Amino acid sequence: MARTGRPRAFDKDQALEQALLLFWSRGYGATSVQDLVDALALDRGSLYGAFGDKRNFYLAAVQLYWDTYERQLVAALESGPVLPALREVLATPARTQEHTSDAGGPQGCMIGNTTAELVPQDAEARDIVARSHARFTRIVADALRRAQADGEVTQTATPEAQAQLLLFTVQGLSLVSRAGLDTTAALAAVDALIDALRA
Amino acid sequence: MARTGRPRAFDKDQALEQALLLFWSRGYGATSVQDLVDALALDRGSLYGAFGDKRNFYLAAVQLYWDTYERQLVAALESGPVLPALREVLATPARTQEHTSDAGGPQGCMIGNTTAELVPQDAEARDIVARSHARFTRIVADALRRAQADGEVTQTATPEAQAQLLLFTVQGLSLVSRAGLDTTAALAAVDALIDALRA
DNA sequence: GGGCATTTTGTGCAAGCGGTCAAAAAGTCG
DNA sequence: CGACTTTTTGACCGCTTGCACAAAATGCCC
């Protein structure tokens, strides 16, 4: 493996982050390679050289998104009472949306966006999304299992079923919020769900 | 308003239905005008003459989708106990997905698909989606209000909050199901939610 | 049956798309 | 310092896209 040659003039990780922001804001199809070239201030060939084609670039950005999200999720659930943390997990997308609703900023959940746009026609995208779903439910179910044992969460349903329900809710909330959300109503719905989980 | 002239050689409503099926299966961006021309067996000019441009065509299809869905929703909730009907509303997308997961058929909820793909950049699409959300929550909240009065549904949350939660869940379920769903797990989650609503 | 309004038909087009490539530039290492 | 490897640069390509338009076809109404 040769290590010589002209060094890259840009930070690959930082470029990926910026690309994530763009893909997140506009979606896959609506983001042209030219948009990326303009936004990242690097030339076409450099982009292709570093990341392969547009689809690979997007998938890498999605993976970065999920890795970041998962880290935060684990951190939020690893200590303390579970229900307030889960409440926060659900409330965050509802509140975030309020600030950026009219701006051109990121919209919804990147995993959800990918599910809607790419999954039906892209097996690799489906794998990434499915794996993210599985990891989300596993992490949340583990936390709920502990909380059931502690008497914090009701045992009227299995932790797995509860986690699955939370996945649906957070995905639905992120999606619906793109069309404009009554934040108060959304938070009331979140509270209704959290209350229903209480033992 | 002149009524004369060469009559249309195809059924406009039927063409719209077929277009809906195509848009529903592939999404907006991935469905080219050429695809529509091929599938509907009518020529380019005829399509533009009857429906205007592609975007208008799509929005008309979405509207048709919602009108159909709303009719079924109202019918399902207008009589009998509410919770079993709501359970069915949530369970249907989970089961439907099982059959068509690998085929090229319709995927997810058309409103959700539109939310993900068009809403961020299309004000008219956002209006249609937002109106659909509002109508869904109103219809469901009305049913829940009745059910709360009848003692069928818990009063620990307002009917509006419960309806909003159901909107999130059905949208999330439809979306997540596109990535492949464990039907049993999904139904367990639905049951957990329905049970939580029971008085 | 002749004029008229409308749809059909088929061609054509400008623009934007994702992607490629060859030459120039820039460090690295013997 | 000069060969080597990699990145940069910018022009370029073939393709598909959504859409427009003119001429022909068709049925209604007076």
Q: Is the backbone of residue A85 left (phi > 0), alpha (psi -120 to 50) or beta?
A: alpha
Mean pLDDT for the stretch of residues A178-187: 93
- The answer to whether the CB of A31 falls within 8 A of the CB of B120 is no
| Residues of A whose CB is below 8 A from B186 | 164, 168
Chain B residue closest in CA terms to A180: B130
CA nearest to A163, candidates B182, B198, B98, B107: B182
Say whether the CB atom of B45 is under 7 angstroms from strand C: yes
Q: Is the pLDDT of residue B15 over 70?
A: yes
Max mean pLDDT range (A6-15, A78-87, B45-54)? A78-87
Query: For residue B55, which nucleotide's C1' is closest to its Cα?
Result: D18
Q: How long is chain B?
A: 199
Distances (CA, A) of B64 to B23, B71, B114: 12, 11, 13
The pair of three-digit structure tokens given for residue B19, joined into one six-digit string: 């277009």
Q: Is the pLDDT of residue A70 over 50?
A: yes
Distances (CA, A) of A166 to A18, A194, B121, B141, B156: 29, 10, 28, 21, 19
The pair of three-digit structure tokens given for residue B39, joined into one six-digit string: 């599938």
The whole-angstrom distance between A89's CA and the closest CA on chain B is: 14
Round to whole Å and give the CA distance between A172 and B185: 17
Q: Mark yes or no for CB contact A29/B196 under 8 Å.
A: no
Round to whole Å and give the CA distance between A111 and B182: 18
pLDDT at A107: 84
Output the distance from A188 CA to D30 C1' rounded to whole Å: 67
The whole-angstrom distance between A144's CA and the closest CA on chain B is: 14
Say whether the CB atom of B44 is under 7 angstroms from strand C: yes
DSSP state of B121: G
Round to whole Å and give the CA distance between B119 and B87: 28
The whole-angstrom distance between A194's CA and the closest CA on chain B is: 10
pLDDT at B107: 83
Mean pLDDT for the stretch of residues B64-74: 97
| Residues of A whose CB is below 8 A from B108 | 116
pLDDT at B1: 46
Q: Mark yes or no for CB contact A162/B195 under 8 Å.
A: no
Single pTM value for the model: 0.93
Residues 6 or more apart whose CB falls under 8 angstroms from that of A67 comprise none
Round to whole Å and give the CA distance between B107 and B46: 28
Q: Is the dihedral of CA B180, A125, B118, A87 positive or negative?
A: positive
pLDDT tens digit string along B120-160?
889 999 999 999 999 999 999 999 999 999 999 999 999 99
| Residues of B whose CB is below 8 A from A58 | none
Q: Which of A24, A133, A165, A191 to mutate to test the interface with B (most CBs of B within 10 A)?
A: A165
pLDDT tens digit string along A105-125?
888 899 999 999 999 889 999
Round to whole Å and give the CA distance between A168 and B37: 36
The answer, for B162 touching chain A at a CB cutoff of 8 Å, is yes
Q: Is the pLDDT of residue B102 over 60?
A: no
Q: Is the pLDDT of residue A84 over 80?
A: yes
Mean pLDDT for the stretch of residues A158-169: 98
Round to whole Å and give the CA distance between B96 and A136: 24
Q: Which residue has the higher pLDDT, A79 or A54?
A: A54
For A29, the closest of B29, B157, B160 (CB atoms) is B29
The answer, for B91 touching chain A at a CB cutoff of 8 Å, is no
Residues 6 or more apart whose CB falls under 8 angstroms from that of A20 comprise A61, A62, A64, A65, A110
The answer, for A156 touching chain B at a CB cutoff of 8 Å, is yes
Residue % of chain B over a pLDDT of 70? 93
Name the residue with the least CA to C1' distance from nucleotide D17.
B32
H-state helical runs in chain A: 12-26, 33-40, 44-51, 54-77, 82-100, 110-117, 123-149, 159-176, 183-197
Q: Which amino acid is at B4?
A: T
> What mean pLDDT, rounded, does chain A reach?
92
pLDDT at B100: 52
Name the residue with the least CA to C1' distance from nucleotide C6.
B5
| Residues of B whose CB is below 8 A from A192 | 156-157, 161-162, 165
| Residues of A whose CB is below 8 A from B190 | 165
Round to whole Å and give the CA distance between B12 and B66: 18
The answer, for A116 touching chain B at a CB cutoff of 8 Å, is yes
pLDDT tens digit string along A42-53?
889 889 988 989
At which residue do the structure tokens 């547009």 appear?
A54
CA nearest to A61, candidates A78, A39, A77: A39
Neighbours of B114 (CB within 10 A): 28
Q: Which of A164, A174, A184, A198 to mutate to test the interface with B (most CBs of B within 10 A)?
A: A164
List protein-proximal bases of chain D (any atom < 7 A from a CB).
4-12, 16-22, 25-29
The whole-angstrom distance between A97's CA and the closest CA on chain B is: 12
